[in-house]
Amino acid sequence: MRPKHRLVVFVPRKREVPPASDVGAESSFWADLLEGEVVVPAWSDGRWHQVEVDGEPVVGVQLAPDHVPPTWPDPAVRQQVHLDLEVDDPRAAEAEVLAKGARLLLAAHELAAAEGFRAYADPAGHPFCLTWGQA
């Protein structure tokens, strides 16, 4: 079965690791979107959560009590990580991410466009994009 949203990572790492002051909220957000589960390794003392999809770690979340959310697109506080989610239905995907606690940062394209993207912030403020129609 094809997942509802596919994580597209443009860096040579197996997984992304966004810092967050609330690792529970951040890891739950990504687990919900990626249809995965949150795993808290015993060694982490709760300071590290990872999101696994089909048993593979895809996103790790590290506790950063003094985390300052990025202010993208304003460069005052630089982004620490950026993820793209390739989606088939941008309208449904936008409704889902907003309902789960994301906020819209940039409506670069209309949702009815054949291809495009929109940028959002996750609960910890990290920008991510929904992309669609791109080969």
What does pTM read for this prediction? 0.83
48-53, strands of its sheet edge to edge: 19-20, 56-63, 48-53, 37-39
| Assigned token pair, 21 | 């002051």
Max CA separation in the chain (angstroms): 46
The per-residue pLDDT for range 14-71, each reduced to its tens digit, is: 456 677 889 999 999 999 988 899 999 999 988 999 999 888 888 888 888 888 888 8
Look up the domain containing 86 and give its range.
Answer: 5-132
**What is the percentage of the chain residues whose pLDDT exceeds 70?**
87
Q: What is the pLDDT of residue 10?
A: 41
**What is the percentage of the chain residues whose pLDDT exceeds 90?**
52
CA distance 122 to 26: 7
- Mark residue 54 as left, alpha or beta (left: phi above 0; alpha: psi -120 to 50; beta: remaining): left
Give the chain's domain count.
1
Q: Please report, for the domain that includes residue 80, its CATH number.
A: 3.10.180.10
